[in-house]
Chains A and B, each alone.
Chain A
C-alpha cells in the first residue's frame, strides 16, 4: 500500500496552488465583497488546462488521472470555493458525465470544447421546488420528431449565466412506473431560443461565484443531444453527483487546510496572558482537531480518487468523503474564527469567508442528511451498486495520452 503522491501529482498540485495563490488570492476579497465573478478566472483556468485536467488528450483534456483532479480541487478551494465550484459543475457534472455516458459523437461535439475551455458547461438538476428529491422534478421534455421540447425552470445553478452548455435532467415520462424511470438527460445549448438565464445574489457565501437560474420556454433540443437512453436520466444524474461530490469533498479538504494554516499562523503571533495563544491548551485542542480532520478528509478523498482510477464504483466512499469533509470544513472555519477572536469576525482576515463558503457544501450536491441516508442504506444492506450501462472508465495512462 503506497499512500505517497507521485512526482506528477506533486507537480500538478504545485502548479494549481501557484495559480490560485498568485492570481486569485490577491483579488478574491474585492470580488467576494462586490459579489461579482473575477472576470479573467474562467479564461485563465481554461488556458492553463485546469478545466480539462482529468480528460484524455483525445477529448481535449490534459490526460491527468482522477486523483490529480481531486488534488487540484483541494488547492483551488484552499484559496476560494468558487474556483472549485467550476471544477464541480463544468468539469464534473457536465464534462465527466458526458465522458461517462456520451456517445463518441457527443464527446467530440461537446466534451472537446469543454475540456479545452473553449466552452463552459454546467449541470442543471435543482428546481425552485425540489433539490434532494430528484424524482419530484417538474421541468419536462416532450418528443417532437427529431427534437424534444423543454419547458420549466432550474434554480441554484452554478455558472448558469456564464455557461454555453448545460447538462439538464428533465421529466420525459410523467406516467413511468417508478419515478426514477421518468427522467432523461440532455445537453442543452444555452444560447438556444427560449432559454433565459439570470444570476442570484445575496448568498451567504461563494459570493465571487456565479449562481443563477435557467428557464426553458418551448426550447427545441435535438434528439441527438439526449445523453443515454430515454428514462436513464436518474442514473445519469446520480453518476454526475458521484463526480460532483468527489470535487466537493476534495475542495472542502482545502478549506480545512486553509483554516488550519491561518489558525497556526495567528496563534503563534497573537499573545494573551503573556504568551502566544498557541501555548494555551484550549487553542491547541482546536488546532489539533483541525489537523486531524484535515488528515481524515484527505485520506477519504484520496481513496475515492484511487477507486475512480481503478474504475470501481464508489458512491458509498464518495458519500463518506463528501459528508465528512464538508462538515469538518464548516467546523474548522468556525474554530478558526474563534481563534482569531474579533479579527476573525471581520473580513480583514480570510477565515470568515471560509466559514461562509463552507456552509453551502453541507447542503448542495446531496445534503448531509441525504449522505446519511445513503450511508445507512449501504450499511443495512438495503442499497447496493447495480452495474450501469456506461461505467466510468478506469484511468489508463496510455489511453489517456491518446
Chain B
C-alpha cells in the first residue's frame, strides 16, 4: 500500500499566540509537527505494518517545515516531500487542498491519504474533506480504527452520538482521531535516518499548477478580551455581618 500522511508545522501548543498588527505571532516559541498529525503518521504506520508498503509524509510550508517532516521520518515514515513556494504564503483550506491533491497526483499510485482531524493553528478541520473532493476520492472522517481488506477500507468513526462503521473503496482520504493509538516516539535509528534525509522540495511549477486564488479572506484578527478580575476580601465582626456585606455586594454588582 502506498500511504500518504499529510502533516503541517504549527507553533508549539504552549506558545503564547497573539494578534499583532493584523498578523498572528507566537514569539520565539518553537514550531512543531501539528500534534493531531502525529496521529495521522501513527495511523499510516500501523497500516504499513499490517499490509506492507510505504508511508510518505507530505507537508506544505516554508523551509523550516522540514523539521516537522523529519519528525515523521524519525517516527518511521519512509520518505518525505515538502511543497514550498513563496506564492503559497497566504493559503486557505481550499488552496491547501488543491496543492495537496496536485502533490498526491504527482506522487501517483497512492492508495490512502491520512490526515489528523484538524490543525492546532487554524483548526478548521476541513482540509481533509476538501482534498478528497479535489481528488474525487471518498472521504472517511474522524476514524478511530482502520481496517483494509480487498481494496476497501473500513473505519470506525468516533462521533458525538457514538460510533459508526463506514467503508469505501480505495483510494480514499481519511482523517484520524486520538483513538487510533498514541503516536509512537521517534526511534533513535529513525532520528539518525531523519537527520540525514534529503527532503525534496516541490514548487508550484513542479506540481504544474498556479497559486490557488484564496476564496476565504481573513478580515480581522483580535486577541481574546482581557479578563479584568479583582479580589476583595470581606471582613467583619461576625460571620453574619460578613454574609450581609457579601449579599449587599452581590446585589450591588448585579451578579444575581
Q: What is A's interface to B at a CB cutoff of 8 Å?
A: 6-8, 11-12, 14-15, 18-19, 48-49, 53, 62-64, 401
Closest Cβ–Cβ distance, residue B84 to chain A (whole Å): 18
Contact B188 A53 (CB under 8 A): yes
- Which of chain B's residues have a CB closer than 8 A to the CB of A19? 185
Contact A15 B189 (CB under 8 A): no
Contact A6 B189 (CB under 8 A): no
Contact B195 A49 (CB under 8 A): no
Contact B188 A7 (CB under 8 A): no
Closest Cβ–Cβ distance, residue A118 to chain B (whole Å): 17
User: With A11-B194, A11-B195, A63-B192 given, is the CB distance from A49 to B74 under 8 Å?
Assistant: no
Q: Could you list 12 further interchain pairs (A-B, Cβ under 8 angstroms) beyond the known A7-B194, A8-B192, A11-B186?
A: A7-B195, A11-B74, A11-B191, A11-B195, A15-B185, A18-B185, A48-B185, A48-B187, A49-B189, A53-B188, A62-B189, A64-B188
- Which of chain B's residues have a CB closer than 8 A to the CB of A48? 185, 187
Q: Pick from B188, B189, B192, B196 the residue with the most CB of A within 10 Å.
A: B188
> Can you show 25 pairs from A to B with CB atoms below 8 A apart?
A6-B195, A7-B67, A7-B70, A7-B194, A8-B191, A8-B192, A8-B195, A8-B196, A11-B70, A11-B71, A11-B74, A11-B191, A11-B194, A11-B195, A15-B74, A15-B186, A15-B188, A48-B185, A48-B187, A49-B187, A53-B188, A62-B187, A62-B189, A63-B188, A63-B189
Contact B191 A12 (CB under 8 A): yes
- CB under 8 Å from chain A, chain B span 186-219: 186-189, 191-192, 194-196
Closest Cβ–Cβ distance, residue A241 to chain B (whole Å): 26
A62 to B194, CA, bound (A): 14
Q: Pick from A6, A12, A18 the residue with the most CB of B within 10 Å.
A: A12
- Which of chain B's residues have a CB closer than 8 A to the CB of A12? 188, 191
- Which of chain B's residues have a CB closer than 8 A to the CB of A18? 185
A18 to B187, CA, bound (A): 12
A63 to B188, CA, bound (A): 8
A63 to B190, CA, bound (A): 11
Q: DSSP majority for the A interface?
A: helix
Closest Cβ–Cβ distance, residue B153 to chain A (whole Å): 30
Pairs of residues from A and B, 10 with the lowest C-beta to C-beta distance, nearest first: A62-B188, A8-B195, A11-B191, A7-B195, A49-B188, A15-B186, A15-B185, A12-B191, A11-B74, A64-B188
Closest Cβ–Cβ distance, residue B192 to chain A (whole Å): 6
- Which of chain A's residues have a CB closer than 8 A to the CB of B71? 11
Closest Cβ–Cβ distance, residue B7 to chain A (whole Å): 15
A62 to B67, CA, bound (A): 21
- Chain B: which residue is nearest A62 at the CB level? B188
Closest Cβ–Cβ distance, residue A18 to chain B (whole Å): 6
Q: DSSP majority for the B interface?
A: helix
- Which of chain B's residues have a CB closer than 8 A to the CB of A6? 195
- Chain B: which residue is nearest A401 at the CB level? B192
A63 to B191, CA, bound (A): 11
Closest Cβ–Cβ distance, residue A121 to chain B (whole Å): 19
- Which of chain A's residues have a CB closer than 8 A to the CB of B187? 48-49, 62
Closest Cβ–Cβ distance, residue A21 to chain B (whole Å): 11
A18 to B189, CA, bound (A): 17
- Chain B: which residue is nearest A19 at the CB level? B185
- CB under 8 Å from chain A, chain B span 108-126: none
- Which of chain A's residues have a CB closer than 8 A to the CB of B67? 7
A12 to B74, CA, bound (A): 10
- CB under 8 Å from chain A, chain B span 146-205: 185-189, 191-192, 194-196
- Chain B: which residue is nearest A72 at the CB level? B188
- Which of chain A's residues have a CB closer than 8 A to the CB of B192? 8, 63-64, 401
A64 to B74, CA, bound (A): 14
Closest Cβ–Cβ distance, residue A397 to chain B (whole Å): 9
- Which of chain A's residues have a CB closer than 8 A to the CB of B195? 6-8, 11
A6 to B195, CA, bound (A): 8
A63 to B71, CA, bound (A): 18
Closest Cβ–Cβ distance, residue B249 to chain A (whole Å): 22
A86 to B19, CA, bound (A): 45
- Chain B: which residue is nearest A68 at the CB level? B188
A18 to B183, CA, bound (A): 11
- Which of chain B's residues have a CB closer than 8 A to the CB of A63? 188-189, 192
Closest Cβ–Cβ distance, residue B64 to chain A (whole Å): 12
Contact with A along B68-79 (1 / 0, CB 8 A): 001100100000
- Which of chain B's residues have a CB closer than 8 A to the CB of A14? 186
Closest Cβ–Cβ distance, residue B241 to chain A (whole Å): 27
Closest Cβ–Cβ distance, residue A291 to chain B (whole Å): 16
- Chain B: which residue is nearest A53 at the CB level? B188
- Chain A: which residue is nearest B189 at the CB level? A62
- Which of chain B's residues have a CB closer than 8 A to the CB of A11? 70-71, 74, 186, 191, 194-195
- Which of chain B's residues have a CB closer than 8 A to the CB of A53? 188
- Which of chain A's residues have a CB closer than 8 A to the CB of B70? 7, 11
A7 to B193, CA, bound (A): 11
A49 to B186, CA, bound (A): 11
- Chain A: which residue is nearest B67 at the CB level? A7
Closest Cβ–Cβ distance, residue B142 to chain A (whole Å): 24
A14 to B75, CA, bound (A): 13
Closest Cβ–Cβ distance, residue B149 to chain A (whole Å): 30
Q: Pick from B74, B187, B191, B196 the residue with the most CB of A within 10 Å.
A: B191
Closest Cβ–Cβ distance, residue A295 to chain B (whole Å): 17
